[in-house]
Amino acid sequence: MRKCLALLIVFVLVAGLTFAQGPERLKKITKKTEMPYEAEYSSKFRMGDDRHSFKILEVWKDYEENMLDRNLEYFADDVTMEFPDGTRITGLEKLMEETKKHRDRLDNYQSKIVSYVSLKSVDKDEDWVAVWGEDIYTDEEGNKVVSPIHEVWRFNKEGKIDFMKQYHAMAIPDEVAPDYENMNRNDDDDDW
């Protein structure tokens, strides 16, 4: 019994020291250049201006309510948007024309915001908003569609939206839509 207790104590001490030290490669990370990849655009961000998030969420609400002309002053005249199918639209007039056509094809449309954050690229001096959410609508066959979406929006120096890139995941059948409030997690874990 004493041997087992002694072995257990030694094991706990060794395990504790091992986990306290962590992987050696992580200890050596001190600069951006030591990361496995270098960011093509930027890796130097800080929290940004929440007024930008407010504008983007209003634009999402405008789309949901099919009131696309409500906040046109938020957009630069030369705004560019890139969509998951490879479509790129430049110019506010063309963007509104195409967006209205697309929105008119969606029945029972709802937006669900999962998360958003305003960011400031320190080295590029640009303001961004990242949004994660879901498009929920009825398709042309009458099926309910839940489609995860991620967008990044950029603001110019005048505080107007001048760029947006959208990413979409495959649609999720309605009966297995994710429950973001109760994701698989250990409720005993104090880190949550």
pLDDT value at 8 more than 50: no
> Residue 175: which residues within 8 A CB-CB, separation 6 or more?
none
Question: Both tokens of residue 136?
Answer: 């929920």
- pTM exceeding 0.85: no
Helix/strand number for the chain, H first, E second: 4, 8
pLDDT score of 110? 96
pLDDT value at 60 more than 50: yes
In a domain, 192, yes or no: no
User: Which H/E stretch holds residue 104?
Assistant: helix 92-104
Reported as a pLDDT band with limits 50, 70 and 90, residue 143 is confident
In a domain, 126, yes or no: yes
Region 69-94 average pLDDT: 97
Reported as a pLDDT band with limits 50, 70 and 90, residue 192 is very low
Flag the least confident range among 20-24, 68-72, 147-151.
20-24
pLDDT score of 115? 98
Distance CA 160, CA 88 (A): 19
Biggest distance spanned by C-alpha atoms of the chain: 81
pLDDT score of 167? 97
Reported as a pLDDT band with limits 50, 70 and 90, residue 111 is very high
Flag the least confident range among 59-63, 77-81, 117-121, 175-179.
175-179
Region 78-85 average pLDDT: 97
Q: State the CATH number of the domain containing residue 89.
A: 3.10.450.50
**Burial group, residue 83, by CB count within 10 angstroms (0-12, 13-18, 19+):** middle
pLDDT value at 99 more than 80: yes
More confident residue, 172 or 35: 35
In a domain, 191, yes or no: no
CB count within 10 Å of CB 133 equals: 18
In a shared domain, residues 50 and 140: yes
In a shared domain, residues 84 and 166: yes
pLDDT score of 174? 60
> Residue 174: which residues within 8 A CB-CB, separation 6 or more?
144, 145, 146
pLDDT score of 16? 54
In a shared domain, residues 19 and 82: no
In a shared domain, residues 101 and 168: yes
Instruction: Domain count for the chain, please give it.
Output: 2
Write out the residue range of the structural domain in which residue 79 sits: 45-180
Q: Which of 25-39, 95-109, 114-128 has the highest mean pLDDT?
A: 114-128
Place of tokens 């957009």: 75
In a shared domain, residues 23 and 84: no
3-state secondary structure of 16: helix
> Residue 164: which residues within 8 A CB-CB, separation 6 or more?
79, 80, 81, 82, 151, 152, 153, 154
